[in-house]
C-alpha cells in the first residue's frame, strides 16, 4: 500500500530544538502516552527534527520499511527544500574533518583514545570515521596494536592509499614456442 493511497493516513510530527521548553519533560510518561496515541491513528509518521547543525527527516511506518534519517538542504536562491545525504554519512564526514584537523595539529602520531576524547561527537561515529580515513590512506597507522605497542595515528604523507604489492615473476616458467624461437632467431 502506498503512503499516499486514500486508505492510508499520514502525520507530520515536528521536533523542535532540544533546548526549547516543553510542557512535559522529555522522556516523561505523559509524552510517551501522547506519542503512542498519535502514532496509533496513522500509518506513516514523518518526523522533522531541527538540531544545531542541520534539519533531518525520517519516518515511522506501520507497513514497509522506515525512511532512513536524511538531512534536508535549502537552496537559498529558489528557497526549495530537498533531501540531502543520510545523516549517518554527514556525521561521519564531519568527524573525519575534525579528526584530520586534530591530527594536523599534533607533532607526532597519537593513540586512538586521545583522538576520540579531543573530537566532538558520538564514539561510534568517530571510530567509523577513523577507520574510513585509514582505509582511504588519509591517515597512517603505526604500532602493533597490543599492550606496550599500541596503534598510533598520524596524517598520511602520501595522497594515495597504501596497497600491498605482489611482485610478478620476471622469469616466467612457460616454455618458448617454436614460432617464438624463429622470431627471436634462436
Nearest Cα to Cα of residue 94 among 67, 61, 57, 133 = 133
Paired residues of 13 in beta bridges: 47
Section 26-34 average pLDDT = 45
Mean pLDDT of 48-58: 89
Local confidence band at 3 (pLDDT 50, 70, 90 cut-offs): very low
Given the DSSP bridges, would you call strands 70-74 and 10-15 parallel, antiparallel or unpaired? unpaired
Q: What's residue 159's pLDDT?
A: 56
Residue range(s) of every CATH 1.10.10.10 domain in the chain: 89-155
pLDDT band at 19 (very low <50, low <70, confident <90, very high): very low
pLDDT at 152: 96
At residue 122's C-alpha, the angle toward residues 102 and 106, to 5°, is 10
DSSP state letter for 176: P
CA count, 13 A, side-chain hemisphere, 145:
2
What is the pLDDT of the chain when averaged over all its residues?
77
- Check if the beta carbon of residue 57 is closer than 8 Å to that of residue 48: yes
In order of 72, 90, 145, 177, the CA distances from 54 in angstroms are 7, 10, 37, 68
Percent of the chain residues past pLDDT 70, beyond the cut: 62
Give me the pLDDT at residue 113, please.
Answer: 95
- Provide the CATH topology of domain 89-155: Arc Repressor Mutant, subunit A (1.10.10)
pLDDT of residue 130: 96
pLDDT higher than threshold 80 for residue 182: no
CA distances from 148 to 19, 48, 78, 106, 127 (A): 44, 48, 58, 21, 21
Amino acid at each position: 500500500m502506498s503512503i499516499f493511497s486514500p486508505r492510508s493516513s499520514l502525520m507530520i510530527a515536528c521536533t523542535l530544538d532540544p533546548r526549547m521548553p516543553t510542557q512535559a519533560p522529555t522522556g516523561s510518561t505523559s509524552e510517551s502516552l501522547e506519542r503512542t496515541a498519535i502514532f496509533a491513528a496513522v500509518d506513516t509518521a514523518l518526523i522533522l527534527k531541527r538540531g544545531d547543525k542541520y534539519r533531518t527527516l525520517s519516518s515511522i511506518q506501520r507497513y514497509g520499511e522506515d525512511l532512513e534519517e536524511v538531512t534536508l538542504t535549502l537552496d537559498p536562491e529558489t528557497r526549495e527544500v530537498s533531501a540531502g545525504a543520510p545523516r549517518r554519512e554527514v556525521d561521519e564526514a564531519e568527524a573525519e574533518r575534525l579528526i584530520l584537523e586534530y591530527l594536523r595539529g599534533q607533532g607526532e602520531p597519537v593513540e586512538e583514545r586521545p583522538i576520540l576524547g579531543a573530537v566532538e561527537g558520538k564514539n561510534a561515529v568517530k571510530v567509523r570515521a577513523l577507520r574510513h580515513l585509514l582505509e582511504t590512506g588519509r591517515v597512517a597507522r603505526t604500532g602493533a596494536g597490543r599492550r606496550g605497542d599500541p596503534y598510533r595515528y598520524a596524517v598520511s604523507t602520501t595522497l594515495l592509499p597504501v596497497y600491498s604489492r605482489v611482485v610478478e615473476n620476471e622469469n616466467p616458467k612457460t616454455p618458448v614456442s617454436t614460432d617464438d624461437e624463429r622470431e627471436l632467431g634462436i
